[in-house]
Amino acid sequence: MTPKRKQRLLLIAAMVIGVGVAAGFALKAFNQNLMFFYTPTKVMAGEAPTGRLIRVGGLVTKGSLKRQADGLTVHFDITDYAHTMTVQYTGILPDLFREGQGIVAHGKLQQDGSFVADEVLAKHDEKYMPPEVADALKTAHREGAKTTAAGTD
């Protein structure tokens, strides 16, 4: 029985190592693919990394949508009412994209501070906005209130 048991131990060891290595790769990839969310305030404060996939979100500022001559590249501003940043995107905007509406964009922050999106999401209907954006607005509002309060003191 002993050689057999040894064999089985070997088998289990091989499996554990195999799955362990695969798990290692998967977790490494996991870390690389985590996309953190940043508000325009945080981006403007320089907290967001450049050259890495991140998500930004806010309300699209009214009247900020500009189309290039090719008709597909657009620039628009998003805001959390405290700060505003510009997003550039080439492609077809989602059905629910509208000025004044909350959106989330996936993409990379460039060295020069502009944000180039590879995906723009506006899944939520008019009544609701993406939860991140709602939170961002709330935080910005609270902090805004704090600074004004500090100013009057």
Partner 1 sequence: MIPELGHFSLILALCMAVVLAVFPLIGSLNNTPGWVALAKPAALAQFCFTALSFACLVNAFLANDFSVAYVAENGNTLLPTLYKISAVWGAHEGSLLLWALILTGWTTAVAIFTRNLPPVTLARVLSVMGIISIGFLSFLLFTSNPFARVYPAPLEGGDLNPLLQDPGLAIHPPMLYMGYVGMSVAFSFAIAALIGGKLDATWARWSRPWTTVAWVFLTIGITLGSWWAYNELGWGGWWFWDPVENASFMPWLAATALIHSLAVTEKRGAFKRWTVLLSLLAFSLSLLGTFLVRSGVLTSVHSFAADPARGLFILVFLSIVIGGSLLLYAWRAPDVNSGGRFDMLSRETLLLGNNVLLVAITAFVLLGTLAPLIYDAMGWGKISVGFPWFTTMFVIFTPFMVFLMGMGPLTRWKHQDPAQLARTLRIAFVISIAAGVVAALPILHGGSWQAGLAVALSVWLLASLLLSLRQRHRHNVGVANIWKSFRMRGGGSYYGMIIAHLGVVVFIIGVTFATQFTQQEDVRMSPGQTYELAGYSFRFDGAKPVPGPNYRADRASFLVTRDNREVATLHPEKRTYTVQTKPMTESGIDVGLFRDLYVSLGESLGNGDWSVRLYYKPFVRWIWLGGIMIAIGGLCAALDRRYRIAVSKRVVAPEPSRVKAPGKKANA
**Contact residues for partner 1, defined by CB under 8 A:** 4, 7-8, 10-11, 15, 18-19, 22-23, 25-26, 29-30, 32-37, 53, 55, 67, 70-72, 90-93, 95-96, 125-126, 131-132, 135
| Residue 116 phi, psi dihedral angles, 5° rounding | -105, 115
**Measured from the CB atom, is 92 or 148 closer to partner 1?**
92
Task: Evaluate whether 105 touches 115 at the Cβ level (below 8 Å).
Answer: yes
Task: Evaluate whether 65 touches 87 at the Cβ level (below 8 Å).
Answer: no
**Measured from the CB atom, is 82 or 133 closer to partner 1?**
133
- Amino acid, res. 28: K
**Measured from the CB atom, is 11 or 145 closer to partner 1?**
11
Supply the minimum distance, in Å, between the C-beta of residue 36 and partner 1: 5
Task: Evaluate whether 71 touches 53 at the Cβ level (below 8 Å).
Answer: no
**Measured from the CB atom, is 82 or 136 closer to partner 1?**
136
Supply the minimum distance, in Å, between the C-beta of residue 123 and partner 1: 10
Task: Evaluate whether 78 touches 88 at the Cβ level (below 8 Å).
Answer: no
Supply the minimum distance, in Å, between the C-beta of residue 98 and partner 1: 9
Alpha carbon distance 59, 100 (integer Å): 6
